[in-house]
Amino acid sequence: MQIYDLIGIGFGPSNIALAITLEEKKLMNHHIESFFIEKQPNFAWHANMMLDNAHMQVSFLKDLATMRNPCSYFTFTNYLHQKNRLQDFINLKTFFPSRHEFNDYLAWAASHFDHCCAYGEEVIEVLPEKQGDDVLLLRVRSRDQQHLIHERLTRSLVISIGGQSKVPDCFLSLKGDARVFHSHHYLQKIKEHTKAKRIAVVGAGQSASEIFLDLHQRFDSANIDLIMRARSIKPSDDSPFVNEIFNTDFTDYVFNSPEQERGRILGEFWHTNYAAPDLMLIEQIYNVFYQQKVAGNERHRFLRRHTVRKAIAKADGIQFTLHDLNNDQEKLMSYDVVILATGYQRDHFKSLLTPLLPYFNDLKVNRHYRINSAPQFKPAIFLQGACEASHGLSDTLLSVTAVRTNEIAQAVINTINQPKNMPSKRSASSAVV
């Protein structure tokens, strides 16, 4: 079985950027044999939130390569050049392309690595390959769509699986109820509810705001409640000095700060990334409610300072017990559809690493995103997008992606302790039923 220098789990923006970095390292005679495994059948980036008129919240210059290598073939600027749209994009006079266009850019970049990525395979576990007391390699086991199990060996592992839908406790009992779904599945699921008359959107961030406006335009007569604990919808602060927290050198500052100070920094700037829609989006929502007042028709409601105490499935709808924090009272509401724009959690990687936990004192990482491990554990395991607590708010964003992959690639080069072979013509994996 072929032994890879590196296997990446997931092939979203972070690992695409890593593949680009590794490709460009070859020009400096660093040949790292890599392979990536993606559970989706083909490349897709937030496919169910590709709403009309949705745009990026980060500059196109923070793409997959520019911050690391502005001369890279894989910059967004070169993508525009290759697509014969560079002059037209310049005429838009914007730093923020549409989400559809940026998704097309990511798919364009990903397509250059089809030869080293297996789509439609879900990694189910990572096992240690031991020699005596030492773990020398990792065995990565994945299941494809035909239920075949594939096994691959690697000297290092990069986990970049993004976030898993975060569902509040009061909704956990409704798992499997088609009337309740997370924003991650929005476009796919909302098509099943064309006759809905009462819809609840729970959340206070960009996704909740975009979904509220999309529902307003999608349904002519449905009543939509936007429900959140906050008193108001606060815009993201993207002013220049605040935006410096997303600079790559701020990562060093956060990592080198005492743990208590890190928590203070995250708390101070939390609203730059969470529960903070674009100001233009907030203004559009405000206008919807204002026009209702003009027309004297309260079709939608903004239920601010409300929390969902309980959610029960009934034949005629999902019944909420809502707690109104304004007057400390409870009331019952019923909805045909409930959309949870409640964010993501980023600790799913822990379940993949369960067989390896004896080799970790904890799952903390070093400055270069490598999980700290016992001396007898030789493989290097890196995390992308799961290190916010140690590396800062930029960790889950595109802002540091290009630079981070360079740090990881260099760490892999430094830690692989056996000669690197040129790409092998042998099979990329073994497969068993």
**How large is the average pLDDT for residues 39-57?**
94
Distance spanning both ends of the chain, measured CA to CA: 17
How far apart, in whole angstroms, are the C-alpha atoms of residue 9 and residue 36? Answer: 6
Q: State percent of the chain over pLDDT 90.
A: 91
Query: What value does the mean pLDDT take over residues 48-74?
Result: 96
State which H helix or E strand residue 18 sits in: helix 13-25
Spell out a b/e string for 12-42, using b for 16 or more CB atoms within 10 Å of the CB, else e.
Answer: bbbbbbbbbbbbbbeeeebebbbbbbbbeee
Beta carbons within 10 angstroms of residue 129's beta carbon: 15
pTM (predicted TM-score): 0.93
Largest CA distance in the chain: 77
pLDDT band at 421 (very low <50, low <70, confident <90, very high): very low
Residues present in the chain in total: 433
**pLDDT value, residue 245:** 94
Q: What is the pLDDT of residues 130-169, one digit of tens each?
A: 999 999 999 999 999 999 999 999 999 999 999 999 999 9
Residue 271 scores a pLDDT above 90: no
Give me the pLDDT at residue 253, please: 97
Q: What is the pLDDT of residue 28?
A: 87
Residue 49: predicted pLDDT? 96
The pLDDT of residue 132:
94
Average pLDDT of the residues in 347-367: 94
Q: What is the pLDDT of residue 422?
A: 40
Q: What is the pLDDT of residue 11?
A: 98
Choice between 333 and 416, residue whose per-residue pLDDT is larger: 333
- 236, 239, 242, 244 alpha-carbon torsion, rounded to 10°: 120
- pLDDT (0 to 100) of residue 1: 84
Angle (nearest 5°) at CA 344 between 343 and 348: 165
Q: Which amino acid is at 10?
A: G
* Per-residue pLDDT band at 420 (split at 50, 70, 90): very low
Sheet holding 306-314, edge to edge: 306-314, 317-324, 329-335
d(CA 153, CA 166): 32
What span, in angstroms and rounded, lies between the C-alpha atoms of 162 and 370?
17
Mean pLDDT of the chain: 94
> pLDDT value at position 415?
85
Residue range 336-360: average pLDDT?
A: 95
Whether 330 shows a pLDDT value over 60: the answer reads yes
pLDDT of residue 431: 53
The CA-atom distances, in angstroms, between 199 and each of 103, 245, 390 are: 28, 37, 38
Q: Which domains does the chain have, with CATH numbers?
A: 3-163+346-432 (3.50.50.60), 165-236+273-340 (3.50.50.60)
